[in-house]
Amino acid sequence: MDFNSQMLLLSTLFLCFLSLQVQADTSTLQTYLIQLHPQGLTSSPFYSKRQWHLSFLEQTLSAEEDSSSRLLYSYSNAMEGFAAQLSETELEYLKKLPDVVAVRADRKYEIQTTYSPKFLGLSLGTQGVWFNSSMGEGAIVGVLDTGVWPESPSFSDSRMPPIPQKWRGACQEGQDFNSSNCNKKLIGAKFFIKGHHVASSQPSDVDQEYVSPRDSHGHGTHTSSTAAGASVAEASVFGNGAGVAQGMAPRAHIAVYKVCWFSGCYSSDIVAAMDAAIRDGVDILSLSLGGFPLPFFDDSIAIGSFRAMQHGISVNCAAGNNGPIQSSVANVAPWITTIGASTLDRRFPAIVRLRNGEFIYGESMYPGNKFKHATKELEVVYLTGGQMGGELCLKGSLPREQVEGKIVLCDRGVNGRSEKGQIVKESGGAAMILANTEINLEEDLVDVHVLPATLIGFAEANRLKAYMNTTSNPKARIQFGGTVIGRSRAPSVAQFSSRGPSLTNPSTLKPDVIAPGVNIIAAWPQNLGPTGLPEDSRRSNFTVMSGTSMACPHVSGIAALIHSAHPKWTAAAIKSAIMTTAEVTDHYGKPILDGSKPAGVFAMGAGHINPTKAIDPGLVYDIKPYEYVIHLCALGYTHSEIFIITHMNVSCHKVLQMNKGFSLNYPSMSVVFKHKTTSKAISRRLTNVGSPNSIYSVEVTAPKGVQVRVKPRRLVFKYVNQSLNYKVWFMSEKGKEGRKVSSSEGHLTWVHSENGKYKVRSPMVVTWKN
């Protein structure tokens, strides 16, 4: 056989092999979601998104194959990209094409949000909270934060009701933002920069972000969509946490007030925004910002929110992220609902498998199971002993020759979690294990890292370090497990959630409630990667964040649902409904945990929010605005201090003379025994918002070391909106008065006679200070 004949035979055999290979591939095709860069440079030659999407398949498939037969969907709202059927070989090729941001396999999921509404019992149907509240229709939620990314699908006004006639707000134009960016969902947007502008030490700070309501950070986009974002199908973060993303009140309207900038949120801007929000006609105010505890007269948020409350506006604020330090809770004014953070039963496992066969549990939202190098076994290094901060993975602390191609162990602290990953990546590291320290303990906060990475708890970190110290060549791999739901106890109190008792007002138990605030997926701007790092070129319509900042808008959205169902209720009645129906047990029926121990009232307040019960609480503890003034007098605030807070000119001497034995009608009870006092009495007033002819009996679990007596023990409500009073006596047992500071807790519950149809629960805490 001559040379030409040999080549012809080889070519024929090769083509036959190729044909067989294509047939084999088509028999094993899988559906993949291909996410593209929304401002992709390769899109410009195409007249439509569909044509652009098809071009990726045309480059990947053989010339004989019809690319349109493989294309299932073309996306442009929930994400930028498309779904297509591909073989593994084709997938590997397509992943390397320009403008391909992420690839993830199609998965089967039940219809669920990502994920907190379902966790809280919110679902579609002909009954339940969303049905009874029309999903928040007619309510307006004002969000003070970093602004909004209006193009996010979470702010689509498809199927939204008309803008309420009472609305007096506007869509303020500015840099890359005009009036057309508002719609029936995002009905208002304003920015407040003057305080920031004059206080900023570096004028160039202003140049780094949009001087408009447009969000440069992502935080405001995330929180506002959590409160009242529209339903977005097929939402996920690169395939993780996939489901239907939606806010707590999907048919409520959103008004955004941008008050936070790169250098912070200034009180002059915050008060100006609250002033505008009251004038504009919002029903709910959501402030995922704050600091350390302040006296009310020195606290701009407390002052502004008092005026808001007078106008019937419910004000919800984050408790702060300074936990588990005692008395770190902020935003503690009694007319504010103060929200701590809790966990969900959703996990993103990313297990470290050591060479010796041991497993170390971690979590991550890096989509590592789509990348082969993420699971490759590599040497693990931990740079300690130097002066550069190598153990913390600070910038400039990781010599390339020591970390290149290796898994780098980094302790948490000083710089951000995602920033550590970026530094490892820039230094040549192949992957990162982020280790909790004694401060963070077993806290599981996930990030969408820029390289294969996982976060491990403090105990697991000690195990890993022990392995590395006793092994000459420690090696490991990270195995990513996607999204797992329902296999862990939840809710529990987040480690970082600020704790009570309140430094400035111990007579009011704070925080009020806890709500989901760990690993919350919500909307994200398209000018930022999901880590928020400037180096992160990936783009996603959603990302994950943790903090009481994320917990706060959950309660703001639920307040919107209650307001929609009961438009005449006061802010105090809405707060009472949320507090007295809160849960103190997790989804397994066991006590909510704070770490490894049952959570106390200073960690979770009245408990974990339950919207299903909150919309129909039976009874409420209502408070008239003037009663807060009497309360301030009772706390010892001076005439001038009370005027600063309330704009009311009062004589506390006369006020207290006319209201002897006054107790603020708060849904929780906090009693402080000072200077060897051994007994105290408080009064409360309950208003029937359930059914007429209702009978309630009291059940008490007394705090240890205290005898509790309630009179009357039975309340008979003949009609709706009737109010009845009761009194509670607390008597300290002997021996307690000698201690410096100690506390004990219990609870008081009014139970409806009709098989416990309603249970109106108030936590009680008694503190001895000597």
**Residue entry with tokens 């941001």:** 101
What is the separation of C-alpha 755 from the centre of its chain, rounded to a whole number of angstroms?
Answer: 35
- With a CB cutoff of 8 Å and minimum separation 6, the contacts of 330 are 290, 291, 292, 293, 294, 317, 318, 319, 320, 322, 338, 498
Q: How do residues 599-638 score in pLDDT, each as one tens digit? A: 999 999 999 999 999 999 999 999 999 999 999 999 999 8
Q: How many CA atoms lie within 13 A of 378 on its CB side?
A: 25
Low-confidence ranges of the chain (pLDDT < 50): 1-27, 77-79, 106-115, 204-206, 368-369, 372-373
pLDDT of residue 673: 87
486-489 own/partner pairs: CB under 8 Å, 24+ apart: 486/345, 487/345, 487/347, 488/345, 488/347, 489/345, 489/586, 489/587, 489/588, 489/590, 489/593
602/338 Cα distance (integer angstroms): 12
254/258 Cα distance (integer angstroms): 13
Which residues have a catalytic role annotated?
Answer: 145, 219, 549
Largest Cα–Cα distance in the chain? Answer: 119
State the distance between the two ends of the chain, measured CA to CA, in whole angstroms: 107
Q: How do residues 55-80 score in pLDDT, each as one tens digit? A: 999 999 988 888 888 887 565 533 46
Q: DSSP letter string over 456-484?
A: E-HHHHHHHHHHHHT-SS-EEEEEE---E
Q: Cα-flanking dihedrals φ and ψ of residue 512, to 5°? A: -80, -45
pLDDT of residue 29: 78
Sign of the CA dihedral with 270 first, then 274, 276, and 277 last: positive
Q: Where are the extended beta strands (E) located within 246-309?
A: 253-258, 260-261, 264-265, 284-287
Q: Cα-flanking dihedrals φ and ψ of residue 56, to 5°? A: -65, -40
CB 172 within 8 A of CB 190: yes
Which of 544, 548, 609, 557 is CA-nearest to residue 583? 609
- How many CB atoms within 10 Å of residue 679? 12
- With a CB cutoff of 8 Å and minimum separation 6, the contacts of 469 are none
Q: Kindly state the tokens that stand for 636.
A: 């010892």
Q: Are strands 431-435 and 407-411 parallel, antiparallel or unpaired?
A: parallel
Burial of 689 (0-12, 13-18, 19+ CB in 10 A): buried
329/503 Cα distance (integer angstroms): 8
CB 332 within 8 A of CB 505: yes
278/288 Cα distance (integer angstroms): 18
481/347 Cα distance (integer angstroms): 9
Asked whether the whole model's pTM tops 0.85, one would answer: no
pLDDT of residue 559: 97
Q: Which 3 state secondary structure label does DSSP give 50?
A: helix
**Residue entry with tokens 């007319």:** 335
